[in-house]
Amino acid sequence: MRAKAIGGKLVISGVGKAGEVGKKIVVTFCSVSLPSAFLHPLEAQHGDLGLLHLNDVLLLISNSGQTREVLDLEALARRLIPSLKIVAITGKKNSQLAKKSNYVLWTGDLIEACPLGLTPTTSTTCISVVGDVLAVLVVQMSGYGVDDYALRHHSGYLGSKAKGSDI
């Protein structure tokens, strides 16, 4: 909400499964009127870093907090905008990413449900939950209401429900 209040947006980034969850978080925030965009860390190195502006907030997602592409993005973003606020969602409190971020949302040092203990399962679920909790807080803190929701959801079941139509 800080970004929106000062004319910026929330930019979310991650790679692999964490990045896919980040894309879901972006569209959830947009639906509750928090301007958000996804920035792929690799594409940022090839010009897309121009998406970041002075009043934005960068939310970086990495369960390990050691994802090279995410750490590289943090460094590039800080070089571009030294005052940029960075929030991390990570499972490792003492990771490089956590140490380089202004704020850390720690999901816990989780064991993946995958029988191999490798495939992101538990961690991506927790990251998604954190994103949903943040969206709920945005709605509560901003005074965003059903009429606001209806203005952004013109079609489908949720649009009809927000407009008070019987389905």
Q: pLDDT tens for residues 107-128?
A: 998 999 999 999 999 999 999 9
- DSSP letter assigned to residue 153: -
Q: How confident is the model at residue 166 (pLDDT cuts 50, 70, 90)?
A: low
Q: What is the mean pLDDT of residues 17-46?
A: 96
| Distant-in-sequence contacts of 26-33, Cβ < 8 A, 24+ apart | 28/131, 28/132, 28/135, 29/134, 29/135, 29/138, 30/152, 31/149, 31/152, 31/153, 32/135, 32/138, 32/139, 32/142, 32/144, 32/149, 33/142, 33/144, 33/148, 33/152
Which CATH code for domain 2-162? 3.40.50.10490
Q: Is the pLDDT of residue 29 over 90?
A: yes
pLDDT surpasses 90 at 165: no
Per-chain mean pLDDT for the chain: 93
